[in-house]
Structure 1
Amino acid sequence: MNAGAPVRAFVAFGGNEGEVQANLLAAIDALGRLPGTSVRRCSSFYRTPAWGRTDQPDFLNGVVELRTELGASELMQALLAVEARFGRVRGEGAERWGPRTVDLDLLVYGDEVRDDPGLTLPHPRLHERAFVLVPLAEIAPGLAVPGRGRVDQLLAAVDASGIQAIP
Structure 2
Amino acid sequence: MTSPASPADETGHHGPDLDRVPSAPVPAVLGLGANLGEAAATLKDAVRQLAETPGIELTGVSPVAVTQPVGGPPGQPDYLNLVLTLMTSLSPRALLAAGQEIEHTHHRTREVRWGPRTLDIDVITYADLASDDPELTLPHPRAHLRAFVLTPWSWVDPEATLGGARVADLAAQADDAGSVRRLPIDTGRPAS
Return the TM-score normalized by structure 1: 0.92
Preserved CA contact (<8 Å) 2:147 2:172: no
Preserved CA contact (<8 Å) 1:127 1:148: no
Between the aligned partners of 1:31 and 1:76, the Cα distance in structure 2 is 11
Helix, strand or coil at the partner of 1:70:
coil
Between the aligned partners of 1:149 and 1:162, the Cα distance in structure 2 is 21
Preserved CA contact (<8 Å) 1:15 1:102: yes
Which has the larger Rg? 2
Q: What is the total number of aligned residue pairs between the two structures?
A: 163
Return the TM-score normalized by structure 2: 0.80
Identity of aligned residues (%): 41
2:83 aligned with 1:63 = yes
| Structure 1 gaps, min length 5 | none
Alignment match, 1:78? 98
Deviation at 1:2, TM superposition (A): 2.0
Preserved CA contact (<8 Å) 1:42 1:62: yes
Between the aligned partners of 2:63 and 2:101, the Cα distance in structure 1 is 24
2:31 aligned with 1:12 = yes
| Structure 2 gaps, min length 5 | 1-19, 185-192
2:173 aligned with 1:157 = yes
* Cα distance, 1:124–1:148 mapped onto 2, change above 3 Å: farther
- The runs of at least 4 aligned residues of structure 1 exceeding 4 Å deviation read none
Between the aligned partners of 1:161 and 1:117, the Cα distance in structure 2 is 31
Deviation at 1:9, TM superposition (A): 0.6
Deviation at 1:148, TM superposition (A): 5.2
Alignment match, 2:49? 30
Preserved CA contact (<8 Å) 2:64 2:80: yes
Between the aligned partners of 1:158 and 1:95, the Cα distance in structure 2 is 24
* Cα distance, 1:107–1:58 mapped onto 2, change above 3 Å: same
Preserved CA contact (<8 Å) 1:13 1:102: yes
